[in-house]
Amino acid sequence: MKLFNRIKTFLGSRKKISISVVVLVLIISISFTASRNTDNNFETVKNLDIFYSLYKEVNLYYVDPIVPGDIIKTGIDAMLNSLDPYTVYIPESQTEDLKIMTTGKYGGIGALIRKKDDYTMVTQPYENSPAAKSGVIAGDIILEIDGRTMKDKASEDVSELLRGEPKTKVKLKLKRIGEEKPIEISIEREEIKMNSVPYYGMLEDNIGYIYLNSFTNTAGKEVKDAFTDLKKNNDLNTIVLDLRGNSGGLLIEAVKICNLFVEKGSDIVSMKGKVAQMDKVYNAESNPMDTDIKVIVLVNRGSASASEIVAGCIQDLDRGVIIGQRTYGKGLVQTTRELSYNGILKVTTAKYYTPSGRCIQALDYTHRNEDGSVGNIPDSLISEFKTKNGRTVYDGGGVEPDITVEEKKISNITVALVINDLIFDYANHYKYTHPTIESAGTFKFTDKDYDDFLNFIKNKDFDYKSKTEEALNKLIEESKEEKYYDTAEAELKGLSEKFKRDREKDLMLFKDEIIDIISTEILSKYYYDKGVIIYSLKNDDEVRKAVEIAKNNDSYLKTLNPSKK
């Protein structure tokens, strides 16, 4: 690499130098190094030479002009994707996104956006953000930024224009519901910090609750501060840590969070890689805050990576009860490596193992199917492990909860209402016609309100199929393939007619479910994420189960040590 860097310096002022020359120089450099290594390195150099030759021929003879950076990036992405979806090349233009993921900080106006038809729409300003303080509301369509039209612009490009150094200004032209003319707003950017703990509070007199949505570099401190505050102001005997939907982040923050509740010196997680320097055992290095308080961790299929490190550690050390659904199953660790031209390689360098010694990786990327797809770790390779108290746990497929709560299924009509923005649009309409509402904890969407919603969508066009229809259609197709359809045609047609969807009927059949989604969407307009969480806790099956277990000390202890009487 030193040779390559010297050549880069020499060529730095030659703006028209072809990327093919750089590739050739790199191959020469690698060839020089590989000449002193194994046959495996010869294969590497040989194939890089083939790649360069192929690129040169395509660049010379392909009928249309090619963009060197784009075609090389495509090759890099395909190569890395053949390994696993977590090993990726991040060019200089996208390194800011990586920084945001790890720190939760960026300079901008503080708003969620997404594409809607020809423009980009604000779906939600963050609480106390420059956007919110300047009067931007959910549903605003961004027509222009600093005088430039945003029509047909990708939401990523719009996001890039909204970001910028704090204390700089950006001018937006917005189209808003209920307003005939566009609105112009000037916003001064600030440093936006997205909290890893958007909410914490008390579920009942002695039961605290902390919602952790990411593992940024402040996650450990935020959980510690939340726990300290709850413990200081309440007679706390149980803490519920909610990791549902938390896809992970920094491993070291998971270690810090576990360290709050386990004895100093306890193994929390270990890493093993191909390179010895990647092998590492993470122990609890600090004195814990509380080793006696009951701990309950909520997980689901969206809990991954660092979330699974926390859940796996708490389970293996029998330090708390895990409630919910089986977690995602990501047992791979990524490390970032700096590359030329300020690029970054995020590469899988190790697998991690919980204190019992299990790796919870669910997908086997080392053995792909003939079509390139990836399958689960086969049952024959799944092994038993033991927790501190001798309970049996398994590797190869996420963390299985100690207590499983069946996941709520959402009807297809509700999904269609969400996908077609009908609930989102109605919530914006509701906010426009209701300047204020009651608190998130007491808000109730009434039957009269639901009638108003039905009237709002009455002439709106949206399509869906019930799950029964989907299953029946599949049965009909299979009966035709197996030549049974003719003998059962009358019965199948009768079933099709009987189960034919009825929009009005389904809107009443799934009324409670739809009202729940409408309520959370409305509350987000007034009280942001905190309001949604507070409202959702009232009808949360996993939280309800957590409270039940927390109140029954015998049940809690029996779960952690079934053999103890």
Per-residue pLDDT at 239 exceeds 60: yes
Long-range contacts of 368-372 (CB under 8 A, 24+ apart): 372/82
Q: What is the CA radius of gyration of the chain?
A: 28
User: Which has more confidence, 523 or 93?
Assistant: 523
CATH assignment of 105-193, among 1.20.150.20, 3.30.70.890, 3.40.30.110, 2.30.42.10? 2.30.42.10
In 3-state terms, the chain is what percent helix, strand and coil (to 5)?
Answer: 45, 20, 35
3-state secondary structure (DSSP) of residue 79: helix
Per-residue pLDDT at 12 exceeds 80: no
Contact 231, 295 (CB under 8 A): no
Q: State pLDDT tens for residues 346-360.
A: 999 999 999 999 999
Per-residue pLDDT at 261 exceeds 90: yes
With cut-offs at 50, 70 and 90, classify the pLDDT of residue 493: confident
User: Beta strand 105-108 with 190-193: parallel, antiparallel or unpaired?
Assistant: antiparallel
With cut-offs at 50, 70 and 90, classify the pLDDT of residue 40: confident
With cut-offs at 50, 70 and 90, classify the pLDDT of residue 458: very high
Per-residue pLDDT at 424 exceeds 90: yes
Range with lowest mean pLDDT among 121-130, 528-537, 556-565: 556-565
With cut-offs at 50, 70 and 90, classify the pLDDT of residue 44: confident
Q: Report the amino acid identity of residue 443.
A: F
pLDDT attached to residue 39: 65
pLDDT (average), residues 95-121: 93
Range with lowest mean pLDDT among 263-277, 466-480, 500-514: 466-480
Contact 507, 453 (CB under 8 A): no
With cut-offs at 50, 70 and 90, classify the pLDDT of residue 106: very high
CB neighbours of 521 closer than 8 A, spacing ≥ 6? Answer: 423, 424, 426, 427
3-state secondary structure (DSSP) of residue 183: strand
Crossing angle for the helix pair 219-233 and 251-259, to the nearest 10 degrees = 20
Per-residue pLDDT at 7 exceeds 60: no
pLDDT (average), residues 111-137: 96
Nearest to 350 by CA among 300, 277, 408: 277
List the domain boundaries for the chain: 2-66, 105-193, 199-404, 412-465+502-549, 467-498
Per-residue pLDDT at 444 exceeds 80: yes
With cut-offs at 50, 70 and 90, classify the pLDDT of residue 13: very low
Report residue 68 CA to chain centroid gap. 32
pLDDT (average), residues 450-459: 95
pLDDT attached to residue 17: 41
d(CA 290, CA 223): 13
Residues 428-458 as b/e (b if ≥16 CB within 10 A, e otherwise) read bbbbeeeeebeebeebebeeebbeebeeebe
Per-residue pLDDT at 502 exceeds 80: no
With cut-offs at 50, 70 and 90, classify the pLDDT of residue 417: very high
With cut-offs at 50, 70 and 90, classify the pLDDT of residue 487: confident
Nearest to 309 by CA among 259, 274, 343, 258: 258
Ordered DSSP codes for 194-209 = --S--EEEEEETTEEE
Q: What is the 3-state secondary structure (H, E, C) of 140-180?
A: CEEEEECCEECCCCCHHHHHHHHCCCCCCEEEEEEECCCCC
Contact 369, 375 (CB under 8 A): yes
pLDDT attached to residue 498: 66
Nearest to 516 by CA among 492, 544, 537: 537
Structure tokens given for 33: 């190094």
Average pLDDT, the chain: 90
In 361-421, where does DSSP find H-type helix? 412-419
Long-range contacts of 53-56 (CB under 8 A, 24+ apart): 55/20, 55/23, 56/20
CB-count burial class (<10 Å; 0-12, 13-18, 19+) for 374: middle
Per-residue pLDDT at 413 exceeds 60: yes
Nearest to 323 by CA among 404, 380, 244: 404
User: Which has more confidence, 80 or 178?
Assistant: 80
Where is 536: in which H helix or E strand? helix 511-537
d(CA 519, CA 13): 60
Contact 189, 108 (CB under 8 A): yes
Range with lowest mean pLDDT among 12-16, 67-71, 303-307, 368-372: 12-16
Q: Which CATH class is domain 199-404?
A: alpha beta
Structure tokens given for 283: 């122990």
Q: What amino acid positions are annotated as catalytic residues?
A: 305, 316, 330
Per-residue pLDDT at 152 exceeds 60: yes
With cut-offs at 50, 70 and 90, classify the pLDDT of residue 499: low
3-state secondary structure (DSSP) of residue 462: coil
Contact 560, 318 (CB under 8 A): yes
Residues 517-552 as b/e (b if ≥16 CB within 10 A, e otherwise) read bbbbbbbbbbbbbbbbbbbbbeebebbebbbebbee
Per-residue pLDDT at 151 exceeds 70: yes
What's the DSSP call for residue 215? B
User: Which has more confidence, 151 or 15?
Assistant: 151
CB neighbours of 209 closer than 8 A, spacing ≥ 6? Answer: 200, 201, 202, 203, 239, 240, 242, 537, 543
Residues present in the chain in total:
565
Per-residue pLDDT at 160 exceeds 70: yes
User: Which has more confidence, 464 or 13?
Assistant: 464
Range with lowest mean pLDDT among 3-17, 100-114, 330-344, 416-430: 3-17
d(CA 257, CA 210): 12
Structure tokens given for 32: 């020089």
Q: Which stretches does DSSP call E strand in 103-168?
A: 105-108, 111-116, 119-125, 141-145, 148-149
Task: Report the DSSP beta bridge partners of residue 351.
Answer: 272, 332
d(CA 143, CA 148): 8
Distances (CA, A) of 148 to 53, 104, 152, 164, 167: 43, 28, 12, 16, 21
Per-residue pLDDT at 221 exceeds 80: yes
With cut-offs at 50, 70 and 90, classify the pLDDT of residue 558: very high
pLDDT attached to residue 21: 45
Per-residue pLDDT at 480 exceeds 80: yes
With cut-offs at 50, 70 and 90, classify the pLDDT of residue 38: low
pLDDT attached to residue 501: 63
pLDDT (average), residues 215-233: 97
pLDDT (average), residues 367-371: 77
Per-residue pLDDT at 522 exceeds 80: yes
Task: Report the DSSP beta bridge partners of residue 170.
Answer: 187
